Amino acid sequence: MDIRQLAAFHKVATLLSFTRAAAELKYAQSSVTGQIKRLENSLGVSLFERLPGGVVLAPAGQRLLPYAERMLSLAEEARTATAGAGLVSGTLTVGTTESVISYRMPPLLEFFHRRYPRLEVVLRPTPCAETLRAVRQGTLDAGFLPAPRGEHPGLRATVLGPAPLLLVAPPSHPLAAVRPVTTKDLARVPVLAPEESGGYRELFETAVRRVRGGPAGVLGFGTIESTKRGMRAGLGVGLLPAVAVADEIAAGSLVALDWTPPFEVFTQIVWRRGRQMPAELRTFIDRSVEFMAEDSGGNESGNPMSTAA
């Protein structure tokens, strides 16, 4: 016997009609008749008595009916459990910087909310160094960060795409009219950067320090918004992700200085090396890579799945 035979038997036994059973099962009546006949042959008994006014359950059919109901119920339970294993669910705690949370994550989170409603993604705003440490320790499941390409000890990383940086200033700042702005020019003015800047701020400070021969003069200025306010107050120029100042540049309240960074920064997702990766984390990483590659047109290598092992 098989499940299709039992389903046909149960429907006929419930409706006491081959015609109505076939209609509800969306089978030809001959197909239902054939399923019942094969079931009877496999059991060696008659399950129905055919009468002029219809059919009734034979004694063997009456005995089989409760077993059929239990077997069909178990089959449905098995299907649900198996399908449920493919439904991504659970909670992931992800650390990332203010710029990624504010400017990159909203469309990604909307995508996950619609595609995987049972998956809860909890964001923790953390500086780059803290994100790396927490992922290594296992207090974060994964982290997004803008950082130079390279290895992160104890972690695996996938590059999601370039994270362009801009030096910006109010239109009235003296460097706004300089073409091009050199690192030597920057050694003479205060530079503001948010505390989140992590790896790329260190690279910038190193470049300026080489020219200046002393402290780089970079002021940690809290958040991205406070860095913008500091620039508007005339405290210096700002080093910020391009995505964080796109609106101000479009409105003309800030201008991008004609400066080319001597280093590159990439948005990356990191997770702990060697851990048993749950299905929800694997799905989150894979879909994040695909989504951000489509959002940015792919990373610089042309391979959105390029990894640093």
Please report, for the domain that includes residue 50, its CATH number: 1.10.10.10
Together in a domain, 26 and 78: yes
Instruction: Determine the pLDDT at residue 44.
Output: 94
Residue 262 burial (CB < 10 Å; 0-12/13-18/19+)? Answer: exposed
Together in a domain, 144 and 283: yes
- The mean pLDDT of 213-221, rounded to a whole number, is 71
Q: How confident is the model at residue 291 (pLDDT cuts 50, 70, 90)?
A: confident
Together in a domain, 157 and 276: yes
Structural domain tally of the chain? 3
Query: Is residue 296 over pLDDT 60?
Result: no
Query: Is residue 61 over pLDDT 80?
Result: yes
Range of the domain at 43: 3-85
Q: What is the 3-state secondary structure (H, E, C) of the chain?
A: CCHHHHHHHHHHHHHCCHHHHHHHHCCCHHHHHHHHHHHHHHHCCCCEEEECCEEEECHHHHHHHHHHHHHHHHHHHHHHHHHHHCCCCEEEEEEECHHHHHHCHHHHHHHHHHHCCCEEEEEEECCHHHHHHHHHHCCCCEEEEEECCCCCCCEEEEEEEECCEEEEECCCCHHHHCCCCCHHHHCCCCEEECHHHHHHHHHHHHHHHHHHCCCCCEEECCCHHHHHHHHHCCCCEEEEEHHHHHHHHHHCCCEECCCCCCCCCEEEEEEECCCCCCHHHHHHHHHHHHHHHHHHCCCCCCCCCCEEC
Together in a domain, 281 and 245: no
Instruction: Determine the pLDDT at residue 79.
Output: 64
CATH number at residue 299: 3.40.190.10
Together in a domain, 294 and 244: no
Query: Is residue 211 over pLDDT 70?
Result: yes
Together in a domain, 156 and 174: no
Percent pLDDT > 70 in the chain is 88
Instruction: Determine the pLDDT at residue 196.
Output: 64
**Domain end position, chosen among 62, 85, 108:** 85
| Tens-digit pLDDT profile for residues 107-137 | 888 888 888 888 899 999 888 888 999 999 8
Instruction: Determine the pLDDT at residue 167.
Output: 92
Together in a domain, 243 and 118: no
Q: Which residues contact 186 (CB under 8 A, 6 or more apart)?
A: 167, 175, 208, 211, 237, 259
Query: Is residue 306 over pLDDT 50?
Result: no
Together in a domain, 9 and 56: yes
Together in a domain, 55 and 12: yes
- The mean pLDDT of 30-54, rounded to a whole number, is 91
Query: Is residue 77 over pLDDT 80?
Result: no
**Domain end position, chosen among 232, 256, 280:** 256
Together in a domain, 37 and 11: yes
Query: Is residue 298 over pLDDT 90?
Result: no
Question: For residues 251 and 79, what is the distance between their CA atoms, to the nearest angstrom?
Answer: 56
Percent pLDDT > 90 in the chain is 32
Together in a domain, 181 and 34: no
| Tens-digit pLDDT profile for residues 89-112 | 888 999 988 888 888 888 888 888
Together in a domain, 193 and 46: no
Can you give the pTM of this predicted structure?
0.62
The mean predicted confidence, pLDDT, of the chain is 84
Instruction: Determine the pLDDT at residue 258.
Output: 94
